[in-house]
Chain A
Amino acid sequence: MLTIDNVVTSYGMIKALKGVNLTAESGKVTCLLGPNGAGKTTLMFTIAGILKTQEGSITFDGTEMSRFSPVKIVELGISLVPENRLVFPMMTVRENLETGAYLRVGKDKSAIADDVEAMFARFPRLEERSTQMAGTLSGGEQQMLAIGRALMARPRILLMDEPSLGLAPLIVEEIFRIIEDLNQTGVTIFLVEQNARMALRVADQFYLLEQGKITFSGTPGELEEEEVIHRAYLGSRRE
């Protein structure tokens, strides 16, 4: 569905991505692993259209979109759950969800209302807090809200930038359960993570990004086999 072909992106004077190749297949969960500073967020921003590639191309369902503006990219059906959630703190939970559907507002009123209800059904905790200001929610709740908000655009692919960041382990488990559920209802997910252990549970395909280049690509099974990766990311040597 989403193909990234030899993408080179510079962040100021630093070449953050030095020729990245990967594919996120429709209906699957694709996970990009990598240490801090490897360029994961740069890649996310490049896909979302915030940063522009100097070389290479990004193709989504056959459409070459590397030159598109962020607005057009959302219109294409690509929704981003940003790093650190970035909910709108002074808007209510409900309003946050509504901003997610921004591009549909005015055209689709009842459908949007239905979608909000659907989000509440999926995330009951959000419904409890529907009139609360998003800034007062806990980290895990904000993550749920950010995911729900991104889903409101009815995206064809969901990009998630480090959903486990800053969350307690129990909450992280819950978030990944949600990711798994989402995928099972047919949502294609492209996930960027540092927490490889949790990612192993949900991802169908792995890529490893190190210093701006892809150094590994394979299935979860293949990931677990690789010694280096084991030590670096999963924390312990393979028994």
Chain B
Amino acid sequence: MTDFIQNCIDGVMIGSGYALLAIGFTVVFGVLRRLNLAYGPSIMLGAFVGALLYIQFQAQLFTVAIATVIVATLTGMYVERLCFWAIRRGAALASMVSSFAIWMQLEEMAVIILPERTYPFPALTDLAPIHIGPYFLRSEHLTMFVVAVLLVIVVHTVLYRTRFGLAVRAVSENPDAARYMGINIDAVMFWAFAMVSAIGGIAGFLILATDQQVTPYFGLWATFKGLIAMMLGGMGSLPGAILGGLILGIVETQSLWYLGNDYRDLSAYFLLFLVLIIRPGGIFGHALSERERAALRRV
């Protein structure tokens, strides 16, 4: 039982990182009704630049973080302009394919920056684990969790208490009506994308600093985790994304503990598949708006 609870704790901590990634996908899907396949790779490019600074110039943790976030954000803007803005509104499929093409582009760029398979990433913190009764919390996990919580609060505040957030929500619900209110759709989409890329950058940094290493597989990995978490919790729902991330984290840690490394990822995919077959709306069962339903019918 102790193990189970310990795993749950660890799972929630790790899951908070996944939740952040899922938020990125969810907001982009909400505002643009498209999937951004270049999301993970954008973050990875940022991380690689950060790692480069760490290795070549012995940069400090904070510098690496800033570099990661800035490069991830700029890359996100590049992706938005090329794949989502430049392609006609109606051509949703083309945008997704375009983002895939850019995914490939970004992966190659990352490999050019750092050609080896694994690179060290600065450690998030040097503090010793904290003990609470029979359980222990790794300090990196706790840091990641706390930052994630703060970030979620920030996102929530932006969405519900700022003019920009109002515009984002309006565009998500009905871009035509939003236009009639005088909202500049293109600008909203661009900045929403930028915000999401920054969040992704932070999430990527936290995760990699916890693992203390970065590999070229990180892009694909991050995309998967974000996607799975988003779908588990219910596409298009922010609380769903967060919940999905936490559940994914817990499922992973539990299956890692009880079933071993070989079955860890398998369990996650199996769970996802099951949820999709049985309850496509996600565990949260978020009631989809008509527009979301229509968007989901034909990508």
Contact = CB atoms under 8 A, between A and B. Distances in A.
Contacts of B178: 99
Contact of A90 (B167, B173, B179, B184): B173
Contacts of B296: none
Contacts of A87: 177
B174 A102 contact: no
Nearest to A69: B184
The winner among B169, B173, B176, B183 for most chain A CB atoms within 10 A is B173
Interface string A10-39: 000000000000000000000000000000
Contacts of B179: 50, 70
State which size class the interface on B falls in. 10 to 19
Contacts of A169: none
A151 to B, nearest CB: 12
A105 B166 contact: yes
Contacts of B182: 70-71, 73-75, 102-103, 153
A106 interface: yes
Interface string B179-201: 11111100000000000000000
B2 to A, nearest CB: 43
A95 interface: yes
Contacts of B56: none
Contacts of A74: 180-182
A91 interface: yes
Nearest to A102: B181
B298 interface: no
Contacts of A50: 179
Given A88-B173, A102-B166, A70 B180 contact: yes
Interface string A55-86: 00000000000000111011100011010001
A159 B289 CA distance: 27
Given A50-B179, A70-B179, A89-B289, A99 B184 contact: no
B163 A91 contact: no
Contacts of A75: 182
Contact of A106 (B163, B174, B290): B163
Interface string B216-240: 0000000000000000000000000
A102 to B, nearest CB: 5
A48 interface: yes
Given A88-B173, A89-B289, A90-B289, A71 B184 contact: yes
B207 interface: no
Contact of B163 (A82, A100, A105): A105
A53 to B, nearest CB: 18
A98 interface: yes
B170 interface: yes
A75 B174 CA distance: 20
Nearest to A48: B180
A153 B180 CA distance: 10
Contacts of A82: 176-177, 180
A100 B181 contact: yes
Contacts of B166: 95, 98-99, 102, 105
A88 B170 CA distance: 7
B261 to A, nearest CB: 42
A103 B182 CA distance: 7
Contact of A91 (B173, B184, B290): B173
B184 A80 contact: no
B163 A153 contact: no
A71 B173 CA distance: 18
B163 A102 contact: yes
A55 B39 CA distance: 43
Nearest to A103: B182
Interface in B23-48: none
Contact of A86 (B167, B177, B184): B177
A86 B179 CA distance: 11
Contacts of B183: 71, 99, 102
Contacts of A90: 169, 173, 289
Given A50-B179, A102-B182, A88 B174 contact: yes
A63 B176 CA distance: 25
Interface in B152-179: 163, 166-167, 169-170, 173-174, 176-179
15 contacts: A70-B179, A70-B182, A82-B176, A86-B176, A86-B177, A86-B180, A99-B170, A99-B178, A100-B181, A102-B163, A103-B181, A105-B166, A106-B163, A149-B181, A153-B181
Given A70-B182, A71-B184, A105-B166, 4 more contacts: A48-B180, A82-B180, A88-B173, A102-B167
**What 6 A-B pairs come out closest when comparing CB atoms?**
A74-B182, A86-B177, A88-B173, A103-B182, A105-B163, A102-B181
